[in-house]
Structure 1
Amino acid sequence: MKAGIIGGTGKMGMLFSPVFERAGYQVIVSGRTTDVTSAEIAQTCDLIIVSVPIRDTVQVIQEIAPLLTKEQLLCDFTSLKVAPVAAMLESKAQVIGLHPMFGPTVSSITRQTIVMCPVRVTGTTLSDFRHIFLREGAVCTIATPEEHDRMMAIVQGLTHFVTICMADSIRRLDVDIGKTEPFMSPVYQIELSLVGRLLSQDPALYADILELNPFVPEVLAACREAAGELSGIIQDGDPGAFTTFFSRDTRHLGTYCGRGQELTDALIECMVKK
């Protein structure tokens, strides 16, 4: 069996190549520096995975789609699913959209989540393919492409938006981060670490996640509305209104509030030990 990763010379392709090799595949990769082309992978491999930047994904899929047969399995590693899956369905191949919910800096996929969107695939193929990841210790979540993109508008879109806004607020205030260190609380250190982690990566990735997901605008509208209401309460100096605002969110998150407390307590304890 042959597995071809288009864009496989990138970090995500390099992370997953050994995964498929351990599953019995001969892995072939293509990229800007390889002699192997996307067309060659499409014509010779049983499993084809497109692992290129989000903005390029649909175009790459469209280029190889006419070359594929119904015996092949076509997948992608993109952070969005609706548009790439629609493009993959234009081929004759079986189709499963994939989204690894982690970056390529992890040491393995053990205990990491992979979202799978099986849209045209036999039950046996899906079971066998899913088992590749389960055998590595990964967690597989099944969703439709629309369910995936709606959830990513929260999990990625909202999270990244708020993190970038925190960074830009610090910049607008002309705050010297170094001078905040003597005043640093554990929570601030965690938040600032998330800011640093995001800003140390490729801005094009975050631009695509925020700009190309059709469900992000409604999420950001809710975020702006929440920020506006909370700002008004703070400006009015009304502790009762603040408690009402705070308490309704506590009720909505329910038991996760306690879980979040436990998780961050454990994280803070690890930070102190270091």
Structure 2
Amino acid sequence: MSSEGEKKGTTVGIIGGTGQMGSFFAAVFRRAGWEVAVRGRKSDQSLDRFLDPCDIVMIVVPIRATVGVIEEVAPLLRADQLLCDLTSLKTGPVAAMIKSKASVVGLHPMFGPGVETLQGQTIVVTPATAPEERYRPMIRVFAGDGARITVTTPEHHDRMMAIVQGLTHFLTLCMADTMRRQQIEIEEVLTYTSPIYRIQLGLIGRLLSQDDGLYGDMLQMNPAVGPVLADCEQAVQSLSDAVESGDPDRFSRFFLENAKKYSVYGPQATLETDHLIRCLVER
């Protein structure tokens, strides 16, 4: 699959290919000139007949269903095939996939199906049994469409997702629930906001307009989330104590300890959020 001619002859079979994310990646591969076969929940074709002509088999199903689908698919694959999944967790799915004769690589697109292209989006790659030359052409397709590629292990991926997804979504939901408990209407809150606060409130509204099952799975099914939330609870208590103490030095110690940790990121964060603010103001 490493040459351009081989790429044109590559067939990708997407299980879950009729859903939004599956359809998105089907379009990505078709634009690259690859053959694409899709399989949804209902199919008259037997699974083994669907899988047989595929060079690459991609599993794109909900998190809770992923391992079960892998266990159904994996025994039917050959050593000359490549198996990958697109779920938000990697340790469990990769462990299930490597029981197959096929070469295995885990994938996690760090975006939802609402994006129009891969431009500027991140895809995390967790190689397992597949040698790089087996999955390199697929990664080139993603990079050619503008994706950023991050390579790591399944275990480190899940630890990072406990922060990037788990902690972030947890705090967003906590903000939403706090305002609800305060019986404050969002319409009134918005009349008091400047653009930077509208961005934060917009992230709350964006999350709550999506699938609760997806976010529940990201928080509940990643074992690395628990220790992160334990640290979060301690951080909340520490900050709460500092605020309630009324002692400015105590608050400053909390603030400056964290400011020191993130000092290198500060200029980049300011530049990027300034850009977001301008976009919101000028829309």
Shorter-chain TM-score tier = over 0.9
CA–CA distance in structure 2, aligned partners of residues 209 and 101 of structure 1: 12
| Percent identity of equivalent pairs | 50
Q: Look up the equivalent residue of 2:165 and give its one-letter code.
A: Q
Q: SS where residue 117 of structure 1 aligns?
A: strand
Q: Look up the equivalent residue of 1:75 and give its one-letter code.
A: C
2:155 corresponds in structure 1 to 146
Q: Structure 1 residues 28, 182: closer, same or farther in 2, change over 3 A?
A: same
CA–CA distance in structure 2, aligned partners of residues 126 and 182 of structure 1: 50
How many residues align? The count is 274
Task: Tell me if 1:56 matches 2:85.
Answer: no
1:67 corresponds in structure 2 to 76
Q: Structure 1 residues 6, 37: closer, same or farther in 2, change over 3 A?
A: farther
Q: SS where residue 44 of structure 1 aligns?
A: coil
Q: What is the Cα deviation at residue 167 of structure 1?
A: 0.5
CA–CA distance in structure 2, aligned partners of residues 196 and 35 of structure 1: 40
Q: What is the Cα deviation at residue 40 of structure 1?
A: 3.3
Residues 81, 146 of structure 1: 8 Å contact kept: yes
Residues 82, 135 of structure 2: 8 Å contact kept: no
2:85 corresponds in structure 1 to 76
CA–CA distance in structure 2, aligned partners of residues 40 and 165 of structure 1: 47
Q: Structure 1 residues 243, 38: closer, same or farther in 2, change over 3 A?
A: farther
CA–CA distance in structure 2, aligned partners of residues 244 and 121 of structure 1: 48
Task: Tell me if 1:113 matches 2:122.
Answer: yes
Task: Tell me if 1:273 matches 2:282.
Answer: yes
Q: What is the Cα deviation at residue 129 of structure 1?
A: 2.3
CA–CA distance in structure 2, aligned partners of residues 65 and 54 of structure 1: 17
CA–CA distance in structure 2, aligned partners of residues 39 and 197 of structure 1: 40
Give the one of 97, 101, 121 matched to 2:106: 97
Q: Look up the equivalent residue of 2:146 and give its one-letter code.
A: G
Q: Look up the equivalent residue of 1:78 and give its one-letter code.
A: T
Once the two structures are superposed, the pairs formed by residues 251-266 of structure 1 within 5 Å of their partners are 251-266=260-275
2:176 corresponds in structure 1 to 167
**1:240-260 per-position Cα deviation (integer Å, ceiling 9, x unaligned):** 111110001111112211211
Q: SS where residue 71 of structure 1 aligns?
A: coil
Q: What is the Cα deviation at residue 121 of structure 1?
A: 1.2
2:54 corresponds in structure 1 to 45
Q: Look up the equivalent residue of 2:236 and give its one-letter code.
A: A
2:134 corresponds in structure 1 to 125
**1:86-135 per-position Cα deviation (integer Å, ceiling 9, x unaligned):** 00001000001000011110110112110001111123213222211111
**1:212-235 per-position Cα deviation (integer Å, ceiling 9, x unaligned):** 001000000111100001001111
User: TM-score, structure 1 length as denominator?
Assistant: 0.97
Task: Tell me if 1:242 matches 2:271.
Answer: no
Residues 195, 281 of structure 2: 8 Å contact kept: no
2:201 corresponds in structure 1 to 192
Residues 30, 37 of structure 1: 8 Å contact kept: no
CA–CA distance in structure 2, aligned partners of residues 137 and 178 of structure 1: 37
Q: SS where residue 158 of structure 1 aligns?
A: helix
Q: What is the Cα deviation at residue 25 of structure 1?
A: 2.0
2:143 corresponds in structure 1 to 134
CA–CA distance in structure 2, aligned partners of residues 84 and 63 of structure 1: 12
Residues 100, 115 of structure 1: 8 Å contact kept: yes
Q: CA RMSD in A?
A: 1.2
Structure 1: segments with no counterpart, 5+ residues: none
